[in-house]
Every structure is written in C-alpha cells, then in structure tokens.
Amino acid sequence: MNYARELDIEVLEPMTDAAHWVVERPLGLTIAVSVLVVLVLSTLGSLLLYLVQYWNYQLTREPDGTVRVRRGLLTTRSVSVAEQRLRGVEIKEPLLLRAGRGAQATSVTTGLGSKGESNLLLPPAPVGEAHRVAAEVLGVPESPTLTPLRRHPRAALRRRMVRALAPVLVLAAVLAVFAPDWAWQAALALLPFAAWLGWDRYRSLGHALTERHLLSRGGSALRETVALQRTGIIGWRISQSFFQRRSGLLTISATTAAGDSAYHVTDVGEADGLALADEAVPHLLRPFLEPTPDAG
C-alpha cells in the first residue's frame, strides 16, 4: 500500500467499485459472473502450468530401442526407458479432457513405478495422437488400445446404476425429514446426472485379448485403457464380493512387476473372466480351475 501511495496509484477505489457493483446487481447475475471469472482464471492458470511443465516436449527412440522423453521450461526433465523394461502402455482420459477429445499416454514399465510423472509418454493432447504415440512406443503399426473391446454383462450396469443413484436418493430422504420442503426436491434434481454417471461408468467397461496384449478399460472421472503385454503377466488375483457373487460377476487382476503392479478387469462374467485369464497366459491359471465334465 505504501508503494502504491508513493506512485499515486489508487488501490481501494477499484475494489470499492467492484463491491458496489456486486451489491447492486441481481444475485443470479453475480453468481454467473463469478463462475465466469473463476473459469477464465482457472483456464489461464492451466495453460500457464501446461507451458511450464511440457515446454519443448520431445519423445525420441534411440538406435538401441530406448525411449527418451524430455520436457520442461524452468526445469528440464529427461526420462529414458529401455525397450526390455517396457510392459505396455496406458491411455488416460480425465472427464474434462475426454469431453474435448483429448487424452494422455503413459508407459507401463518396470523400475519406474506408477507415482509422479516419470512414466509419462505424452502430455494432454488429441486422443488420436495419444494412440499414435502408443503405437510408436510399442513398435507396432496400430496401437492395441484401439482394439474393439468386449462389453461386460448387464449386471455390471445394474451395479453401477445402484451405486450412482442410491446416494442421491438417501440424501433426498434425509433432507425431506430434516430440511425445508425444497431441499429434497433440489437433491432429486441430481438424479439425471447420477444416472448418466452410472451409464458412463458402465459404457467405459471393456476388455479384449490380442496376440500380444491384454486390454482392459474402466472409469468415468478418469477413464483408463491399458494394454499390458501378456508375457509381462506373472500371476492372477481373482476377487468376488457378496454382491458380485449374487450377480454372477467377478474381478480378475493381472499382476505384473511393472506400473501399478496389478491391472483389473472389473465386473466381468464369471465364465468369461476365468476364460480370459486362462487364454491370456496359458497354463498359469489352469491348474486351479475345476474341469468341466464332458457332455454325455
């Protein structure tokens, strides 16, 4: 304030004028303008952060097959991944980025883990570019992450609808008892969004098997599609909750020495899930499966 006074700059007057403007305007207009200001500032902040983190981004492959990522404005970061440590790729689509048809690509690599950004291959970019980079890193003409995925049973849709709608209905019931009459009606207004969220979570579910990779996809707020090398799978973990058992579903997890250590195929049909695990890595799970009696 002292510096402003010395430079004959009035600081309080603009703030006072802004406060008077807010008081004199309708509440709806004030809220709309506030939201717009927040959106503009957050967008500008995101752009600035993107430039600082990913300035001069370079993805190169060395003659020996090593993949090298280099990026950064204030601090330059460089990560090298030897080809023999690569176990797959993952396409990540946060909800807002997905709405703009964007995605980012990461590697599934031994020795790097899954924390931080050391496994980043491509920062937020058009989704087509993310798939192209995944193919380049894996050294194949087309990325396995573009493989058509098999849908999960309708029972998986019911589970997601129940988990999405139940909290809203419970909230509305509580508000109907303890809050004014309009509160529970406002809560019910969230039902369409909750239903869309449940449907989107189901729509994101899928799995597939190619000659070299196990494919799995899931998530809504963050949709993740992983292509994991079948040769990198070292074990299987099979889980089934009480409600999954009643619906004929289970979750199979491929364990690996890379990335997140386990990648899940969630709410898959019992027979399909076990068959998928057996086919992905023959003889690994088969000794633990009950043989099917021959017909006749």
Burial per residue of 262-294, b for 16 or more beta-carbon CB atoms within 10 angstroms, e otherwise: ebbbbbbbbebbbebbbebbeeebeeeeeeeee
Are residues 216 and 280 in contact, defined by beta-carbon separation less than 8 angstroms?
Answer: no
Which pLDDT value is given to residue 183?
A: 74
Domain parsing of the chain, residue ranges:
2-53, 58-151+205-288, 154-200
Instruction: Convert the pLDDT of each residue in 45-87 to its tens digit.
Output: 888 888 888 898 999 988 888 999 998 888 888 888 888 999 9
Are residues 255 and 234 in contact, defined by beta-carbon separation less than 8 angstroms?
Answer: yes
Other C-beta atoms closer than 10 Å to the C-beta of 203 total 14
Are residues 111 and 102 in contact, defined by beta-carbon separation less than 8 angstroms?
Answer: no
**Helix axis angle, 154-178 to 191-204, nearest 10°:** 160
Instruction: Convert the pLDDT of each residue in 272-284 to its tens digit.
Output: 999 999 999 998 8
Other C-beta atoms closer than 10 Å to the C-beta of 238 total 14
What would the two tokens of residue 17 be? 């004028």
Indicate the pairing of strand 102-109 with strand 120-126: antiparallel
Looking at this protein, which amino acid is placed at residue 199?
A: W
Which pLDDT value is given to residue 22?
A: 61
Burial class (CB in 10 A: 0-12, 13-18, 19+), 92: buried
More reliable by pLDDT, 26 or 60: 60
The mean predicted confidence, pLDDT, of the chain is 87
Other C-beta atoms closer than 10 Å to the C-beta of 114 total 14
More reliable by pLDDT, 182 or 293: 182
Task: Work out the average pLDDT over 37-44.
Answer: 84
Give the span between the Cα atoms of 161 and 159, in whole angstroms: 6
Q: What is the DSSP letter of 148?
A: P
What would the two tokens of residue 161 be? 């609808």
Check whether 217 has a pLDDT greater than 60. Answer: yes
* Predicted TM-score (pTM) above 0.75: yes
